């Protein structure tokens, strides 16, 4: 079995800018687990545990997803749910580009038995997971509110394997589809 997801990669410049976000969040009293900046991405679809035998079919289906490359801007730090935050993320503005990719991925993988997502797709890049919230977290986020963290062109997708370890996840690219 392979724990897998489909990712849209952000530029190294954006990832480095999000490291500065993490520096500010470190000063809050909330207990946070930070995503290693090099691993920050937009999750287009989380697949969960996929059998080794099914991976080639998933790769074939994802290879059919083709779009025109689009501009993505990392622009606002926020939480997934202000009353019960679980993640701190950077919102992504892309004129609907990643939402379009998401729908194409859903259509490509549905015939393989992957259920369609019922929640609305919101493009974002997770920078930290909230283990224990504290009001100081929102103060830190407030210091970051009016900044942009860069733009890049999204020109493909990746199927990634995720291995969970005590030191954090380890990602391995299984497939890259370039547009």
pTM of structure: 0.94
Q: Are 30 and 142 in contact (CB under 8 A)?
A: no
Q: Residue 113: which CATH number?
A: 3.90.1140.10
Instruction: Encode pLDDT of 89-134 as tens digits.
Output: 999 999 999 999 999 999 999 999 999 999 999 999 999 999 999 9
Show the DSSP H helices in 9-96 as ranges. 12-26, 55-63
Provide the phi-psi class of 103: left if phi over 0, else alpha when psi is between -120 and 50, else beta.
Answer: alpha
The alpha carbon dihedral of 2, 132, 75, 127 has a sign of: negative
Instruction: Encode pLDDT of 112-123 as tens digits.
Output: 999 999 999 999
Distance CA 64, CA 113 (A): 17
Domain coverage including residue 31? 2-178
* Total domains, the chain: 1
- Write out the two tokens for 17: 């800018």
Distances (CA, A) of 156 to 9, 27, 102, 103, 123: 8, 35, 12, 15, 15
Share of the chain above pLDDT 90, in %: 95
The band of 178, judged by pLDDT with boundaries at 50, 70 and 90, is very high
Contacts 24+ apart (CB under 8 A), 114-122: 114/45, 114/47, 117/45, 122/91
- According to DSSP, residue 111 is labeled G
pLDDT surpasses 90 at 167: no
């Amino acid at each position: 079995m392979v724990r897998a997801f489909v990712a849209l990669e952000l530029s190294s410049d954006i990832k480095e800018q999000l490291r500065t976000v993490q520096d500010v969040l470190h000063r809050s009293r909330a207990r946070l687990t930070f995503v290693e900046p090099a691993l920050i991405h937009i999750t287009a679809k989380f697949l969960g545990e996929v059998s080794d035998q099914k991976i080639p079919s998933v790769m074939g289906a994802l290879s059919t997803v083709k779009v025109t490359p689009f501009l993505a801007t990392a622009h606002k730090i926020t939480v997934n749910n202000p009353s019960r935050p679980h993640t701190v993320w950077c919102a992504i503005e892309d004129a609907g580009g990643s939402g379009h990719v998401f729908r194409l991925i859903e259509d490509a993988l549905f015939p393989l038995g992957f259920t369609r997502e019922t929640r609305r797709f919101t493009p974002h890049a997770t920078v930290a997971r909230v283990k224990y919230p504290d009001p100081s977290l929102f103060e830190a986020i407030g210091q970051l509110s009016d900044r942009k963290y860069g733009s890049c062109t999204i020109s493909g997708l990746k199927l990634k394997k995720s291995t969970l370890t005590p030191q954090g996840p380890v990602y391995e690219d299984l497939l890259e589809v370039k547009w």
